[in-house]
Structure 1
Amino acid sequence: MKIVVMSDSHGDKETVSAVSALSADAKFHCGDSELSAEDPLLSKMHIVRGNCDSDLRFQKSLIIEIGNKRILTVHGHEHDCKRTLLPLFYSAKEHEADIVLFGHSHLYGAELQDGILFVNPGSTLLPRAGKEPTFAEIEWDDVGGCKVSFKNMDFEIVDSVELINI
């Protein structure tokens, strides 16, 4: 299975269009799109509301099952994700999630805690800490192998990690 994840595009329709056009079993936006829920660019994406989104039709969180994985998606601002993953971890446990997707910090990263994969795709428009704009691709198989790739807007891998037992 393969999913594509982006976040914090802050009104940049070009990056949303480019990422949403990629081939995947599902596509996610972790909030701060600053677009309307009616925008056709978002029609094939699972999207949550970020702290900069004014359209209240976006949900604060989503639980989606893709293949054999239960995926929790939030923006992260209500989970103190810039300081710690602990509130996200508790939420993942509460929702029995295998994968947690979140944004807000504008920094990409992946971490495995107690068998739960946490992925922040970074920002496609306004990355922090001197990083380049990124989104994430997550691929997994039925035996527990997983690869998370962070790609720039030229679709080149800038970082990746391979995990087992998720």
Structure 2
Amino acid sequence: MKLLVVSDSHGSKSEIKELAEKYDGEVNAMIHCGDSELSADDAALTPYLAVRGNCDMDARLPEDLIEEVDGETILVTHGHLYGIKMSLMKLRYKAEESGAKFVFFGHSHTLGAEIAGGTLFLNPGSILLPRGRQERTYALVDASDHSIKVQFLTHEHELVEEQEFSE
């Protein structure tokens, strides 16, 4: 399973359009973790499984999405309703409750990935307004039966960081 994960584009359509064009046909799903500041039916957001962030006004965007992609359960949320800037504990409970093996969120604009309880928790950073670093980032996830590879890339598609987890 291959996934493109992006978050916190804050009204900028060009980055998410360009990513959708670049990865069309290359990934099983494209995920936007909120704060797009776009309407649910905006063409730039259409290719993405997208959720509502604290800066999104369109109530048609769901707060959480639980989807099955290539046989794996994924949970997508923005993170503000789970206090992710303090702890991932509430989000871990939601992941357990939903049976998610992959959890994608944004809100803090800070990239990171970790495995907890057999579940990948990933924040792709921000494609527009990063915190803690200069690079505007997104993530690619490549998961097989026995490993998960996460690549964080800049908006110019240069590798920033790579992590690999074995199961």
User: Is 1:83 equivalent to 2:86 in the alignment?
Assistant: yes
Give the partner amino acid of 2:77.
V
- Report the alpha carbon displacement of residue 73 of structure 1 after superposing the two structures with TM: 0.3
Aligned to 1:152: 154
Q: Report how many residues are paired.
A: 164
Identity of aligned residues (%): 45
Q: Deviations over 1:90-141 (max 9, x none)?
A: 0000001000000000000000001010000000000001331000000011
Whole-angstrom CA distance in 2 between matches of 1:47 and 1:4:
12
Cα RMSD of the aligned pairs, angstroms, is 0.8
Q: Secondary structure of the residue that 2:90 maps to in structure 1? A: helix
Q: Secondary structure of the residue that 1:87 maps to in structure 2? A: helix
Q: Would you identify which runs of 4 or more consecutive aligned residues in structure 1 move more than 2 Å?
A: none
Q: Deviations over 1:53-111 (max 9, x none)?
A: 00000000001111131000000000000111100000000001000000000000000
- The TM-score normalised by the length of structure 1 is 0.96
Whole-angstrom CA distance in 1 between matches of 2:85 and 2:31:
20
User: Is 1:137 equivalent to 2:137 in the alignment?
Assistant: no
- The TM-score normalised by the length of structure 2 is 0.96
Whole-angstrom CA distance in 2 between matches of 1:135 and 1:6:
5
Whole-angstrom CA distance in 2 between matches of 1:6 and 1:68:
21
User: Is 1:54 equivalent to 2:57 in the alignment?
Assistant: yes
